[in-house]
Amino acid sequence: MSTRHDSMGEMPVPADALWGASTARALLNFPVSGHPMPPAFLRAMGLVKLAAARVNAQLGRLDGAKAALIERVAREIAQGEHLAHFPVDVFQTGSGTSTNMNVNEVIVARAAQLSAGQGVALHANDDVNLSQSSNDVIPTALHVSVALALHADLLPALATLAAALHGKAEEFAAVVKPGRTHLMDATPITLGQEFSAYATQIDKACARASRGVALLAELAIGGTAVGSGLNAPADFDQRVCAVLSQETGLAFHPPRNHFEAQAARDDCVEVAGQLAAIAASLTKLANDVRLLGSGPRAGLAELRLPAVQPGSSIMPGKVNPVMSEMLVQVGLYVQGLMQTVMACGREGQLELNASLPLLSYCLHEAIACLANGARLFATRCIAALAADSEHCAALAAHSLMLVTALTPRLGYDLAAEIAKQAQREGLALREVVLQRGLMHAQELDALLDPLRMAHPHATPTK
Q: Using one digit for the tens of pLDDT, what is the confidence trace for 342-368?
A: 999 998 899 999 999 999 999 999 999
Find the mean pLDDT for residues 203-210: 98
| Beta partners for residue 6, in sequence order | 9
pLDDT at 459: 76
Q: Is pLDDT at 404 greater than 60 in this prediction?
A: yes
35: annotated active-site residue: no
DSSP, collapsed to helix, strand or coil, labels residue 326 as helix
- pLDDT tens figures, 16-41: 999 999 999 999 999 999 999 999 99
Question: Other C-beta atoms within 10 Å of 32: how many?
Answer: 10
29 vs 24, 32, 88, CA distance in Å? 9, 9, 10
Domains of the chain by range and CATH? Answer: 2-130 (1.10.275.10), 136-389 (1.20.200.10), 398-454 (1.10.40.30)
Q: Dihedral, CA atoms, 153, 155, 157, 162, nearest 10 degrees?
A: 180
Tell me the one-letter amino acid at 168. K
Rounded to the nearest integer, the mean pLDDT of the chain is: 96
Least confident interval from 6-15, 139-148, 164-173, 174-183: 6-15
Contact by Cβ (8 Å): 217, 201: no
pTM of the model: 0.96
Q: Is pLDDT at 462 greater than 60 in this prediction?
A: no
Q: Out of 182, 313, 389, 440, which one is annotated catalytic?
A: 182
Find the mean pLDDT for residues 98-118: 95
298 HSE (CA, 13 A, CB side): 1
pLDDT at 458: 86
Residue 402 pLDDT grade (very low, low, confident, very high; cuts 50, 70, 90): very high
In angstroms, rounded to a whole number, what is the distance separating the alpha carbons of residues 444 and 219? 66
98: annotated active-site residue: no
| Phi, psi for residue 89 in degrees, rounded to 5 | -65, 150
- pLDDT tens figures, 71-88: 999 999 999 999 999 999
Q: Out of 2, 33, 228, 312, which one is annotated catalytic?
A: 312
Residue 50 pLDDT grade (very low, low, confident, very high; cuts 50, 70, 90): very high
Peptide linkage before 296 cis (omega within 30 of 0): yes
pLDDT at 5: 87
In angstroms, rounded to a whole number, what is the distance separating the alpha carbons of residues 291 and 284? 11
DSSP string, 396-443: HHT-GGGGGGGHHHH-HHHHHHHHHHHHHHT--HHHHHHHHT-S-HHH
DSSP string, 159-181: HHHHHHHHHHHHHTTT-EEEEEE
Residue 460 pLDDT grade (very low, low, confident, very high; cuts 50, 70, 90): low
Residue 119 pLDDT grade (very low, low, confident, very high; cuts 50, 70, 90): confident
More confident residue, 117 or 47: 47
Residue 461 pLDDT grade (very low, low, confident, very high; cuts 50, 70, 90): low
